[in-house]
Amino acid sequence: MTVDQLRRYLLRRTRVGRKTVDALLADPRQAVRALGHVFRSRLRAELRERRRVRRLGEIEEQLHAAGVDWVIGVDEAGRAPFAGPVVAAAVILPRGLRIRELDDSKRLDADTRERLFGEIRAAALDWSVGVASPRAIDLVNIYQASVAAMRLAVSGLEAVAAGADYTLLIDGRRIRDFPYPHRAIVGGDGRCRAIAAASVVAKVTRDRLMRSLHDAVPQYGFHLNKGYGTPEHVSCIRRHGICAYHRRTFAPVWDLGETGSPEFRVWQQEILGCEDEERLGELAEEVKGLENSLLPQELRTLTRLLQLASQRLGE
């Protein structure tokens, strides 16, 4: 075969084995030996990937060997963005399953995540997601909202509902007062197959939700920034203010221009414009009764404004 014929033949094959590579490297033609080096590099990369994927399943295999029937991977996506929900996923994969390229979702490009999302859903014994809205994040905090989303995801699994013997594998550290038996693994989304799968499901689900939010409020570019604080997103907030999908208690959002709910802004202007100490005292009492209608951050801000107004009027 000529070099071109050989190249076309090899490129059509899904895999070139070790014996073929050795034959290429032993060929007297320099161009053919160059092909051998290319395919040898590919073989080495495939071997490294097989080893990596095999190591991803070691923690789960240890738990199965210890008698645990169901091993469930749990992870979340969306803690850092300025806007949108936080999404958690819980995934149960068949024992011994190996998925090529499966990794921490943050290390994968969007196309690979989408492809793996389909593979995981098709292969999983069960999977579920939980979502905490921006409002829920503002009412508690991002950590507690993430835990709530995890609880929703885990509770949606049939094995959990049926009271089977299971253990959750969670990325990060142990969760205090979490009602499910779990083992926390720092860096788990890159070390454990089940957690990596959950990270992909959570990330892809959240990205799709953010693309749907773009249809509702296209001026913020959620389909591109996914709610993260990119320079373009910050610029959009400065131009348009915040919307219902922004996390108002996140300091960067709070500090960007006109923020807070319409009710908060009414009270804010009332306090800022107050020039009478008696009326200021009345406002202070009225603000105390707003805990069910305003966000904690808004109440803290109004309290601080009342203190500043009192100092101003007392001078």
**315 has a pLDDT exceeding 80:** no
Chain segment 130-182, per-residue pLDDT in tens: 999 999 998 888 999 999 999 999 999 998 988 888 999 999 888 988 999 99
The residue that leads in pLDDT, 194 or 273, is: 194
Residue 16's pLDDT is what? 81
Least confident range from 58-72, 128-142, 154-168, 238-252: namely: 238-252
- What percentage of the chain exceeds 70 in pLDDT? 97
Of the candidates 31, 202, 192, the residue with the CA atom closest to the CA atom of residue 116: 202
Alpha-carbon distance of 23 to 39, in angstroms, equals 11
Alpha-carbon distance of 295 to 268, in angstroms, equals 13
Torsion (CA) 134, 195, 167, 97 in degrees, nearest 10: 140
Mean pLDDT of 253-271: 73
Alpha-carbon distance of 283 to 141, in angstroms, equals 27
Chain segment 3-26, per-residue pLDDT in tens: 788 888 887 777 788 888 888 888
**258 has a pLDDT exceeding 70:** no
Q: Which residues of 118-157 are buried (b: 16+ CB within 10 A; e: fewer)?
A: ebbeeebeebbbbbbbbebbbeeebeebbbbbbbbbbebb
Least confident range from 54-58, 206-210, 211-215: namely: 54-58
Integer angstrom CA distances of residue 84 from 24, 148, 186, 294: 54, 15, 25, 19
